[in-house]
Amino acid sequence: MNTEKTMLSLLLALLLSACGQSAGDTAAAQQSSSKASPSTEPASGEAHAEAIQLTPAQLQAAGIELSEVGPAQIRESLPLYGVVTLNAERTREVTARYPGIIRSISKKVGDAVRQGEILATVESNESLQTYAVTAPLSGVVTARNANPGEQAGEKPLFTVADLSSVWVEISLFPRDVPKVRAGQRVKVRSADTGMSGDGKVSYIAPFGQSANQTITARVLLDNSAKNWSPGLYVTAEVSLSETPVALALRNSAIQNLEGRDVIFVQDQDGFEPRPVALGRRDGDFSELLSGASAGQKYISKNSFALKAELGKGDAEHGH
């Protein structure tokens, strides 16, 4: 709760500082407006009708983003748990071609390497000639089992992994196995970082694990931005069906104001709370039944900052 209050305070400070107003100036302006136009006060039980004016600089400073009301796909999904792992098809163990003494090491764990780049040099026991051990693919060194002066034999000296894609291994209980098949879309989310990504089921194991009575399904996930680290626990929503709806809102836009669902829509006067009626929903979108029209712009990120601004105005009117 303290963290949420701190975030709200920071966002409100940004909104005020972007237009060069102090909290006292804002309160005075609100009180003056209230005295000049008493008929604009919302009736008891109704959503607030006043508009909040924000400049582009204020929107950017507060991290507020806009979206347009429009069509979307509402997914019926199966929530599951999983873990990010290396893509084994893009991982290589690197061994010495001939037994010998390791003369030099040029890479350590965590170093990025290019295909063909030298990882180490080894002096062959038979020919006494030194040869290079090179990276078989571009990626990152994830393991090193070699030091200068040691004997190189059959054991791997390095492991190199291409992290541009990763696997997410999700656990299926027997009752869920009939619902999941290769090719289904999957939304992967990290509760710790807030990240999300889309992938597809690429493999379902033909046998189960006796330890936890589950079957493993694998999701191939793009990781070109290097956001997904192997070992990270995630949730996975397997898409079972998709229903198109004519109008939808991002769930992050919806706030509860005076017991009703509202969004902040943009009009010529600024941003105002608009009560909405919602239908089906999934992890990203909610179907819009009434309250806004197609193409109308609304705040889809950090809308709670405006809700807090309205609440502050109510508290000032109450004194």
63 pLDDT band, cuts 50/70/90, is: confident
Give the sign of the dihedral formed by CA 223, CA 228, CA 231, CA 234: negative
316 pLDDT band, cuts 50/70/90, is: low
Over range 129-143, report the average pLDDT. Answer: 97
Query: What angle in degrees, to the nearest 10, is found between the helix axes of 304-317 and 23-36?
Result: 60
Quote the CA–CA distance of 196 and 174 in Å, as a whole number: 26
- Dump pLDDT digits (tens) for 159-213: 999 999 999 999 999 999 999 999 999 999 998 888 999 999 999 999 988 888 8
Report the percentage of the chain scoring pLDDT > 90: 63
Quote the CA–CA distance of 283 and 298 in Å, as a whole number: 19
Q: What global pTM score does this model have?
A: 0.65
Whether the domain at 2-72+244-317 and the domain at 75-87+164-243 fall into the same CATH topology: no
Predicted local confidence at residue 311, as pLDDT: 61
pLDDT at position 2 over 70: no
- 75-87+164-243: in CATH 3.40.50.410: no
Domain topology for 2-72+244-317: 2.40.420
Predicted local confidence at residue 314, as pLDDT: 54
3-state secondary structure 119-147: EEEEEECCCCCEEEEECCCCEEEEEECCC
3-state secondary structure of 282: coil
Report the percentage of the chain scoring pLDDT > 70: 81
Which ranges of the chain would DSSP assign to H, the alpha helix? 2-18, 23-36, 56-61, 304-317
**In sequence order, what are the residues at sequence separation of 6 or more whose Cβ sits closer than 8 angstroms to the Cβ of residue 236?**
79, 80, 81, 82, 168, 170, 186, 187, 188, 189, 219
Domain ranges of the chain: 2-72+244-317, 75-87+164-243, 91-161
pLDDT at position 115 over 50: yes
Cα end-to-end distance, the chain, whole Å: 25
Q: How far is CA 100 from the centre of its chain?
A: 48
Quote the CA–CA distance of 131 and 311 in Å, as a whole number: 72
Question: What DSSP character marks residue 278?
Answer: E
Provide the b/e sequence for 146-181 (b: ≥16 CB within 10 Å). Answer: beeeeebeeeebbbbbbbebbbbebbbeeebeeebe
Domain topology for 91-161: OB fold (Dihydrolipoamide Acetyltransferase, E2P) (2.40.50)
